[in-house]
Structure formats: structure tokens, C-alpha cells
Amino acid sequence: MSAQKIGIVGSGLIGRAWAMLFAAAGYRVQLYDILEAQVTTALAELQQELHSLECKGRLRGNLTAQAQFALISGCTSLQQLVQQAQHIQECVPEQLELKRQLYAQLAELLEPQTVLASSTSTFMPSRFTAELKCKEQMLVAHPLNPPYYIPLVELVPAPWTRPELVERTRQLMLSLGQRPVVLQREIEGFVSNRIQYAILNEVWRLVGSGIVSVADADRVLSEGLGMRYALLGALETAHLNAPGGVADYFQRFGSEISAVSASYGPTPNTCEELDTLADIARQCEQLTPLAELEQRRAARDEFLTRLAALKRQQQQQ
């Protein structure tokens, strides 16, 4: 029996990452892009990337780079892409109107067995699937960048998404070696961005009011809180931090947590506080000049690969 077919719409950064994840697990992947040349470039770069990962011993899955690449092909129409697809992962730019138009087109083509999942990091699924035919086959499957190294995928159903298709998508993500979480209902920012924005807002306020430098604010995460968060979430961290577990933790520290939280002040307006933005940008660029961003990204990926291996090792113990 030939492998199940996965369609990917949009062959940019995230589309390519999904292609690699699906091929690593042995799925047949078709890539589509509004720019045909983009698919050609994507295929050439994927081939190179898979071989480079294989040389470094970092390739995911049990297949060789060549066998994984053989599972990936390009296609030139949405119609061809949807034919006999089990799952379609949409990865077009983050523009609501663009997604709305694309979903309206896809709704006319979708076969009954197909799940259509969006990689969107900001739009709740109801914002671009309402009133469409087959809207119950659509949901959000939001990865974190870089998906090849970070296993989290947030599954966000619209009010009309069929629960069994959410579960099927969860199983599909597990089969890739990703770690899906399922939101019971949609909410702005999903969960990861809500937490990330809460942190960004407080870091912004602390740096903006001159309490810490950018380097020190980031160090609090990379050398402190983040060390634990690579293993434990916020609640399990609390659970381990009091003799009687989490209930004891909040009994002991709850009033202090509320008092500090009440002093945070209003949510910063990061588009209008231009002096703070200029200061943050200046400090960030001193730490990592713009010309060195690519190098720093490579260092991040290298570190995440090792961290992922360590976590896998721990899970096997």
C-alpha cells in the first residue's frame, strides 16, 4: 500500500519544515505554492538540507535522506494537491484576507476524508472558516519555529470542527514525533502566544523602566526560569516547590503572587512606545548584530537539537 498523502500549501519557511517532518515519518508529501518557482527552490533546498542533516547524523526518522526526499514532490494546482489527501497543512503568509480567499477555494475542492489544518500563529480558525462548505474539516495546527527541532503543535478547533478530526490530527502529529496539545475551544493567541506575550510585556516594562538591561532580562530566562521550563511547566514547577505540592505552594505564596501581579501596570503599547523600542533594538543589536542573526539562528538550532536528544533520552529512562 502506498503511503498516505499529505498536501502542503505554501512552500516557505514553515511549509518546508512540515514537508521534512512528514517525509521523515514516511508520508508522501506534495508541495504547492502560488509561485511555481518557489516550489522548485523549495525542492532543491530540501534535498540539500536533508543530506546535510544526514551527514551530521541529525536526520529524523528511519529513512535515508534520499528516501525521504523521494517522498516529496511539487505540484502546480490546488486541485491536484487535494486529490486523495489525508491531511492538508496550509502555510501561506499571515494575512487574514489571503487565508479567507484560499480557504474558500479549498472548501470547494476538499474531499470528505481530508483534514485542512492552518499553521497560523495568530488567527482563530473561526475567522477564516465560518460559512464555508466542509468547515467542520478545518482547524488550526500551529507549530513553533523551528518545527523540526521544537515538538509542540497547538491544535485549535473552531466551534464547528468535528472532534474526531481533531483527534485524528492529534494522532497524526504524534506519528511525526511531535507533541500536540489540544485546546478545548479557540481563544485569541492560543496558549503559547498568550504565555509568550505575558512574558514579553513584562520584559518590556522592566527594560523600559530601566530596572534591567536587555541582556539581564533575557538571562533571567535563559540561565534561570528557562532551565526548568525545558523539563517542567509553570504548574509542575510550583508543585515541586512546596513540601505539600501545588495546593501548598499557592497557600504559602498566593498572596505574594497577587500583590506582585497587581503592580505590573498597564499592557505596554509596543507600537507606540518608540523610545523603549529604540532602546531595546539598540541593546539587542549590540548583543547580536543584524549581520550575525543567521549565525545565531544556526547556534539556536544546534542547541535545540541537543536539547531534544537529551529530552528523548530522559523519556526513555
Cα 251 from Cα 254, distance rounded (Å)? 6
Site for ligand NAI in 26-55 (CB under 6 A): 33-35, 38
Specify the stretch interacting with ligand NAI by CB under 6 A; choose among 7-15, 174-182, 190-198, 229-237: 7-15
Residues whose CB is less than 8 angstroms from the CB of residue 189 and which lie 6 or more positions away in sequence, other chains included: 122, 197
Among 47, 145, 270, 305, binds ligand NAI (CB under 6 A): 145
Q: In angstroms, give the least distance from the CB of 93 to ligand NAI.
A: 5
Q: In angstroms, give the least distance from the CB of 2 to ligand NAI.
A: 25
Contacts of 35-42 with C-beta under 8 Å, sequence gap 24+, read 36/76, 38/11, 38/12, 39/11, 39/74, 39/75, 39/76, 40/74, 42/11, 42/12, 42/15, 42/16, 42/74
Specify the stretch interacting with ligand NAI by CB under 6 A; choose among 59-67, 85-93, 184-192, 249-257: 85-93
Specify the stretch interacting with ligand NAI by CB under 6 A; choose among 3-11, 157-165, 187-195, 247-255: 3-11
Hey, what amino acid is at 28?
R
Specify the stretch interacting with ligand NAI by CB under 6 A; choose among 93-101, 109-117, 164-172, 211-219: 93-101
Binding marks (x or -) toward ligand NAI, 99..128, rule CB under 6 A? ---x----------------xxx-------
- C-beta closer to ligand NAI: residue 35 or 55: 35
Q: In angstroms, give the least distance from the CB of 249 to ligand NAI.
A: 33
Cα distances (Å, whole numbers) of residue 120 to 21, 135, 178, 248: 17, 16, 17, 38
H helix intervals, 209-244: 214-219, 226-229, 234-240
The CA-to-CA distance between both ends of the chain, in Å, stands at 35
Hey, what amino acid is at 316?
Q
- C-beta closer to ligand NAI: residue 36 or 111: 36
Q: In angstroms, give the least distance from the CB of 13 to ligand NAI.
A: 4
Cα 239 from Cα 248, distance rounded (Å)? 8
C-alpha cell at 304: 535545540
Residue 11 in the binding site for ligand NAI (CB under 6 A): yes
Residue 93 in the binding site for ligand NAI (CB under 6 A): yes
Helix, strand or coil, per DSSP, at residue 299: helix
- Residues in contact with ligand NAI, counted by CB under 6 A, come to a total of 23
Residue 9 in the binding site for ligand NAI (CB under 6 A): yes
- Residues lying near ligand NAI in the complex (CB under 6 A): 9-15, 33-35, 38, 91-94, 98, 102, 119-121, 142-143, 145
